[in-house]
A and B are shown apart, each in its own frame.
Chain A
Amino acid sequence: MTTAKQKAPALSKRLRAALAIDGPHFGRPRPKPRELIAIKNALKSRSKNQPEISLGKLMRVAVDADPSSDTAKLVSNVLADSKLDNGVRRQAATLLGDLPFIPARNALHKQLSSREAHFEPTLLKALAKIGDSKTIMAIKKLPKTNSDVLRKMRNSVATVIAYRIGEKPTRTREHALIPRSTPLLIESEKPAKVKTVVDKLRGSNYGLKLKRDFGLCFNCGDTKHVLLVNDDLKRGQFAENLLAKRRIVGVIAMEEEDSNDFVTRYLVFVKPTRQQAVISVINTSGEVVMMGKFRRTSSGLELEMRDHTNARVPTNVTGLITDSEVHIQGELFPESSREKNAGEVDVSMYKN
């Protein structure tokens, strides 16, 4: 016979070992039904009576074994308990994101409005998974932030939720998911100008004989750049030549603003493989700036190239090269620019 006052099951020896604060790392222990009750009981008391048990591990096992509204309530209590360690509370916020139930959502909203700023990124990440229209409103009400990272995160989470629930996101917010691009105009340079550029090229051209009547120009910021093409590439045979052998296709020269002189800034390489060719753009230090492929199609060679690790502004370049013509266009994503490196501070020189 059972009674209402029957003693609640305690954590089994197996679980005590697995959930101990200083216990070994574990995979995903599958608690038996009685063990799960014990885990939830321990969670209810937030393991106050069992200091050797890790609250974080308790939550993880509970969420894993029983992703329910009931578990969400228990984990929510951990998030709300300001006396607990912030690391454990942050873990609770993360786990709530795996519990698509109203108590979880409400707890995350409540914490978000509490303005404990250091929690915000974790809360937002969790809400991206389970948030609803109320979340979008809650994000709207947050005080303005100076942090670019946080601002982008808010916009992206609000947009993820809007897409999921079928609401239309604001345009600004949507740019966090689908960044705006600006066209990079790459045009044919007038033959006379190409000749001038070749003549005004200061310093090395890496031993190339450059065409004096064909080149492409574009602006990078305010600085004019001209692609000067290796004279080896014969007009009427561009596509064929590009697939023929490894070669330096040309140099990209940069204009010096005061002198209108040009100097080599990038080199363009092509390495043919079967039916296609790899194209790589490097700077004069040998760092790859862009990389892509030419693919043979019925209309010519299709070019697809994008920024590589050293480029700061994400860039896509596409184009079509036939034997007689070259059409290239680019797309820049300035809003997604990588931040510049800030350098280091020699703290040893500031010691008193």
Chain B
Amino acid sequence: MRVSIRDTCSDCLGETGTLRVNRDLFGYIYGKIDRDLRVRQHIDRIRGESINICIFLVGHEPGFGGSFTQAQATRVQHAIDLTREIYAQANLGVRKIYWRYIGTDKAGPYLSVNSSGATDLTDAFSGPNDGIDVFWVQTVSDAGGWSNSKGPCDKDGKGRTGAVLEVTSGSDDFKGVLMAHEVGHYLTLKHANAITNVMGVDSNNDGIGELNSTSRDITSSQRNKMLDSCWVRSPC
């Protein structure tokens, strides 16, 4: 069945009026990214079972007058797109991207966080209720990022209610793997036992998974767990 871009934007993303493929269908509002975007494939993915993501740029100001640079925003989009590619193995789409920012003033305490700061950040801010919050900060001092295993379905609850990721270091691909990894935690996945798996391996048992930019595999049991999460939206 052929489904138009316009229908998909309207049915699945709530976007109508003048549409732009990058901005409205893919949700990449901060310009082009250096990845091959396939419209047909993307439509198929987001029409199936999917999650929504709410991205917080911590320390951003419109016009890039804050801590966040244009290059970093593009990098975040790259990460989202790679997450989409990785999650496609689980037949799980990443449908709607909500973009939010925390201005320089309010972001002050959160530009550089450790795991407790990550909890404070997600406790203070939350995006729309149908999306998993992913906060991009400049630095995470004690890991690449933090998330809960089995993130709470109620974001008003206490504790860590989102994933917090570092935008500064690592390659663009690594950030995509990191995002897929932390959101994977939120979707109930625990660390795996292979570096090639998206959930990495915790070889020294310190609670921090080791990853690299090749950690992209998803097993069938991980797939089933992800699809059972309360965050998964029905097909549209």
**Interface SS majority for chain A:** loop
Segment at the B interface, from A6-14, A106-114, A284-292:
A284-292
Interface size on B, residues (CB 8 A): 48
A33 within 8 A of B: no
A343's contact among B56, B155, B156, B159, by CB below 8 Å, is which?
B56
B106 within 8 A of A: yes
In the assembly, what is the distance between CA of A34 and CA of B223, in Å?
A: 83
Q: A258-B190, A312-B124, A340-B124 are in contact. Are A220 and B158 (CB under 8 A)?
A: yes
Closest chain-A Cβ to B136's Cβ sits at a distance in Å of 12
Q: Would A203 and B114 count as touching, CB distance under 8 A? A: yes
Q: How far is the CB of B29 from chain A (nearest CB, A)?
A: 4
Is A340's CB under 8 angstroms from B207's CB? no
Within 8 A of B (CB), among A228-276: 254, 256-261, 263-265
Segment with Cβ contacts to A, from B35-43, B44-52, B81-89, B97-105: B97-105
CB distance from A226 to the nearest CB of B (A): 13
**Which applies to chain B's interface (DSSP): helix, strand, loop or mixed?**
loop
Q: List B contacts of A349 (CB < 8 A).
A: 23, 29-30, 62, 99
Within 8 A of B (CB), among A299-322: 310, 312-313
Once A223-B119, A259-B208, A341-B124 are accepted as A-B contacts, the answer to whether A346 and B158 lie under 8 Å apart by CB is: no
Q: Cβ of B157 < 8 Å from any Cβ of A?
A: yes
Does the CB pair B205–A343 fall under 8 Å? no
Task: Tell me which residues across on chain B come within 8 A of A310, comparing CB atoms.
Answer: 124
For chain B, residues 142 to 194, give those with C-beta under 8 angstroms from any C-beta of chain A.
142, 148-149, 152, 155-160, 190-191
Q: How far is the CA of A203 from the CA of B116 in the complex (A)?
A: 11
Q: How many residues of chain A get a CB closer than 8 Å to chain B's CBs?
A: 38
Q: Is the CB of A257 within 8 A of B149?
A: yes
- The answer to whether the Cβ of A283 comes within 8 Å of any Cβ in the partner chain is yes
Q: Which residue of A lies closest to B142 (CB)?
A: A203
List B contacts of A287 (CB < 8 A).
109
Cβ B205 vs Cβ A259 within 8 A: yes
Residue A116 CB within 8 A of the other chain: no
The answer to whether A258 touches B149, judged by C-beta atoms less than 8 angstroms apart, is yes
A194, B120: Cα distance in complex, Å: 24
Task: Tell yes or no: B18 within 8 A of A by CB.
Answer: yes
**Given A220-B158, A258-B190, A285-B109, does the pair A346, B62 have CB atoms closer than 8 Å?**
yes
CB distance from A252 to the nearest CB of B (A): 9
- List B contacts of A221 (CB < 8 A): 152, 157-159
Q: CA separation between A339 and B148, bound complex, in Å?
A: 21
Q: How far is the CB of A200 from chain B (nearest CB, A)?
A: 10
Contacts of B100 in A (CB 8 A): 342-345
CA distance A337 to B208 in the complex (A): 32
- Cβ-defined contact, A346 with B101, below 8 A: yes
Q: Which residues of A are found within 8 Å of B57, using beta-carbon distances? A: 346
A189 to B191, CA, bound (A): 29
The answer to whether A342 touches B159, judged by C-beta atoms less than 8 angstroms apart, is: no
A254 near B119 with CB under 8 A, answer yes
Chain B residues lying within 8 Å of A261, measured Cβ to Cβ, are: 206-207
Residue B110 interfacial (CB < 8 Å) = yes
Q: Within 8 Å CB of B207, what residues of A?
A: 256, 258-261
**Chain B: minimal CB distance from A83 (Å):** 35
- Interface assignment of B60: CB less than 8 Å from any CB of chain A: yes
A26 at interface, CB cutoff 8 A: no
- What does the 1/0 interface line of A326-352 toward B look like (CB < 8 Å)? 000000000001011111111111101
CB interface residues, B 15-43, toward A, < 8 Å = 18, 20, 23, 29-30
Given contacts A337-B156, A345-B100, contact A254 B124 (CB under 8 A): no
A-B contact pairs, 6 of them (CB 8 A): A203-B141, A261-B206, A265-B119, A285-B117, A343-B56, A346-B62
- Top 5 A-B pairs, shortest CB-CB distance: A259-B207, A285-B109, A221-B158, A343-B100, A221-B159
**Which residues of A approach B to under 8 Å, CB–CB?**
202-203, 220-223, 254, 256-261, 263-265, 283-287, 310, 312-313, 337, 339-350, 352
